[in-house]
Amino acid sequence: MQILEPQQFASWNDPIEMLYTCHSKVKRFCHQLSILPGYLEKNGVNQAVLNDVKIILQYFNYAALLHHDDEEKDFFPALMLKAPEIQSQVEELERQHIDLHENWRLLSEQLEDLIAQESISLDPALIQRFVLGYDKHILIEEPLFELGKQHLTETELKAIGQVMSNRRHP
């Protein structure tokens, strides 16, 4: 029997935990994407697939873009003021954001066709490139989140969190 504990939710007062929460969603959705071609081959398109794909599209079309803005416009600049030695990592991460967005653009077209039932064909190589791109990205990025916990003050973090919240709730 599983013991249920109260679920912990990240809040805008702790923007680093919000960034980690986004990464958890990215990992979950990437896993779903990676198994989708095999599932479609065995089961075809059903309501569960359509529901999941709509959620994945919603996340990567909106939330992931906001997450990247949170990093590029708020978190990275604040952290570089305290730890300028991370500049090359930040530049690499920002370059990766461009690649992630382009791979997503291509993949989302296929997922939109799937929802419209115009095609049930997904390019497994494109999915793999997208998923591996995020895997590589997260490996570089999450140590910077930990660095942020060490270098940014509570006041700085709350200010970043407020901007992140305002980005979503203008």
pLDDT in tens, 26-60: 999 999 999 999 999 999 999 999 999 999 999 99
Is 83 within 8 Å of 151 (Cβ atoms)? yes
| The model's pTM | 0.91
What's residue 8's pLDDT? 52
Please name each of the domains of the chain with its CATH number. Answer: 15-168 (1.20.120.520)
pLDDT in tens, 111-151: 999 999 998 889 999 999 999 999 999 999 999 999 999 99
